[in-house]
Amino acid sequence: MFKKQDKGKRLKKWILIVLIVLVLIPLIGVLFLKFEGEKPVIELKIQSLVVPADFEITGTADDRKSGIKKLWISFLQNGKETVLLDEEYRTRGFLQKGGIHQVPIQLNINAKKMNLSDGRAKLRIAAWDHAWRDWWKGNQTYIEKEIRIDTKPPVVSILSSQHNVAKGGSGLVIYKLSEQCTQSGVFVGDDFFPGYSGYFKDHDLYLAFFAVPFDYSNKTDLFVKAVDPAGNRTRSGFYHHIRNKNFKPDTITISENFLNWKLPEFQAADGFPSDKSSKDKFIFINKELRKKNNHTILQNGQKTGTQILWEGAFGRLPNSARRANFGDQRVYKYNGKDISHAVHMGIDLASVKHAEIPAANQGKVVFAGYVGIYGNLVCIDHGCGLMSIYAHLSRMMVNNDDLVSKGEIIGYTGTSGLAGGDHLHFGMFIDHVFVNPVEWWDSSWINNNILSKLDAVQSMM
């Protein structure tokens, strides 16, 4: 009898244990899941906290455990709340996780339609999940960002006048902005030349050196463009005249002796056709390598300083004769046939062998090294995008970041690169476009086109 009672007790005990395992433990698991405390994650993408009349808010609201239950977005300005989004998302059921774990945010905002005025406003975003925390309201994440609505484009006032520029030549525009801008400068067709503030005491005044490429039409459009932090854009034209200029043809005969002398120097060049004929090797150097080398030189324009460093007319190699001009249309002949073409983007000056090379004006060395067809080359920044280059050097006497004064010896002439004889290739460029150095040697041109404009605007202040 006692044995039967013991068996009954043990059976009840095991039934209780089984019930605990089958019911209580899963229930604890469900409660653990439903009472999880991880908050939703909100990620926003707004290009700027200063926004224009039309802008976009994108991002996501994530909750990997319980799922998103509700998403709410609004603007608060001058005590008035404008709700942009108020959405709820269903769960899949009691024992399952939330139905949506990631909600994309994509709102196209039109400030005028929503009666939002220019000025400060608060962007408020809240997200809740399906957890049972906070009396079944769920875990909440709240984000508040202060933005500034700006629907008015900047005003550009052109202060300089008489913008007469030759093809291949340089120019200067001085202008004033009504507000701080993220970008401003001169467009010559599709070429952009940035403006620089700091020359004048009024930091709303900008100057921009620009270039008209030698092969552009004299009908090319020139204008100043400004973009404010909200992305509002202004385009302001200015009076200008582009003078036609003819560039003379030049024929250069390539001899076998020249190729035997020069080709070994370029064997290590990327893409060099070592298995091709001497003629094909020269064509590669003169076309493909020239293009790469010009890019290497011109990208130094991005290293410019924001102050004008030069003074007066630029100097030239003393006691030198001009051997080639800017813009020469070169035709290369080999065995009596035209094999290649190029445009000469500088002036070749010849003096005595290994002549001293003085810096044309004061500035900062931004590059000193070997550049393919140009050989050993020094590039000096004269500020606000204006650069000078010295190529084919036998020796360089300066290093990157050296400050040099006008007339300081920076190297010696030579035959490095594709030079056929000892000389200096002197070039100048603005930002990313080669210009005719002859203008910058001419004190009258500088006074009429640069200094007089700076002085005129200075006298207005």
Residue 34 pLDDT > 70, yes or no? no
Comparing 2 with 400, which gets the higher pLDDT? 400
Instruction: Give the model's pLDDT for residue 5.
Output: 61
Close Cβ partners of 140 (under 8 Å, ≥ 6 residues apart)? 39, 40, 126, 127, 128, 134
What residues form DSSP beta bridges with 44? 59
pTM score above 0.75 = yes
Other C-beta atoms lying within 10 Å of the C-beta of residue 219 = 7
The mean of the pLDDT values for the chain is 91
Query: Poorest-confidence range of 26-35, 64-73, 226-235, 241-250?
Result: 26-35
Instruction: Give the model's pLDDT for residue 55.
Output: 87
Mean pLDDT, range 243-269, rounded to an integer: 96
User: 3-state DSSP call for residue 417?
Assistant: coil
How far, in Å, CA of 284 to CA of 264, rounded?
Answer: 13
How far, in Å, CA of 85 to CA of 98, rounded?
Answer: 20
Mean pLDDT, range 374-398, rounded to an integer: 98
Instruction: Give the model's pLDDT for residue 92.
Output: 64
Residue 94 pLDDT > 60, yes or no? no
Residue 277 pLDDT > 60, yes or no? yes
User: 3-state DSSP call for residue 71?
Assistant: strand
pLDDT in tens, 151-197: 999 999 999 998 999 999 999 999 999 999 999 999 999 999 999 99
CATH assignment of 41-149, among 2.60.40.10, 3.90.105.20, 1.20.970.10, 1.10.10.10 = 2.60.40.10
Q: Domain 156-245 is classified in which CATH homologous superfamily? A: Immunoglobulins (2.60.40.10)
Instruction: Give the model's pLDDT for residue 9.
Output: 66
Q: Sorting pLDDT into bands at 50, 70 and 90, what band is 137?
A: confident
249-430 fold: Glucose Permease (Domain IIA) (2.70.70)
Residue 103 pLDDT > 50, yes or no? yes
